[in-house]
Amino acid sequence: AQKVTQAQTEISVVEKEDVTLDCVYETRDTTYYLFWYKQPPSGELVFLIRRNSFDEQNEISGRYSWNFQKSTSSFNFTITASQVVDSAVYFCALRTNSGGYQKVTFGTGTKLQVIP
């Protein structure tokens, strides 16, 4: 069985603060992909990043950065100098090929509120 845990249900920060969203995953597969999606109030999930299980290189994209650590099964997401437009629900997802079928498991999401 696979599982994605986002322990933080809601986070509030003041604009310009840094914030880290945690994601812990479980899978027995050795090949898998991890994703982060953003869901603004409009409802549409927006793809942010994907990382495969063989690439532990951390990534920075503008104010966003991701820290993937297989040793702790974590794929954390940091927003630097947060802005009000970052307010949304953020989902971490795990995609595997289990028994010949693609399987995607989403975490329960972390609601981020950035206060001006």
Partner 1 sequence: KAGVTQTPRYLIKTRGQQVTLSCSPISGHRSVSWYQQTPGQGLQFLFEYFSETQRNKGNFPGRFSGRQFSNSRSEMNVSTLELGDSALYLCASSSTGGLDYGYTFGSGTRLTVV
Residues that bind partner 1 (CB under 8 A): 31-33, 35, 37, 42-47, 50, 52, 91, 95-97, 101-109
For partner 1, the closer CB: 25 or 32: 32
Phi, psi dihedrals of residue 52, rounded to the nearest 5°: -90, 165
For partner 1, the closer CB: 14 or 46: 46
For partner 1, the closer CB: 75 or 107: 107
Least distance in angstroms from the C-beta of 47 to partner 1: 4
CA distance 64 to 79: 5
Least distance in angstroms from the C-beta of 46 to partner 1: 7
Q: Are 46 and 31 in contact (CB under 8 A)?
A: no
Q: Are 86 and 114 in contact (CB under 8 A)?
A: yes
Least distance in angstroms from the C-beta of 100 to partner 1: 10
Helix (H, G, I), strand (E, B) or coil at 27: coil
End-to-end CA, the chain: 41
For partner 1, the closer CB: 54 or 116: 54
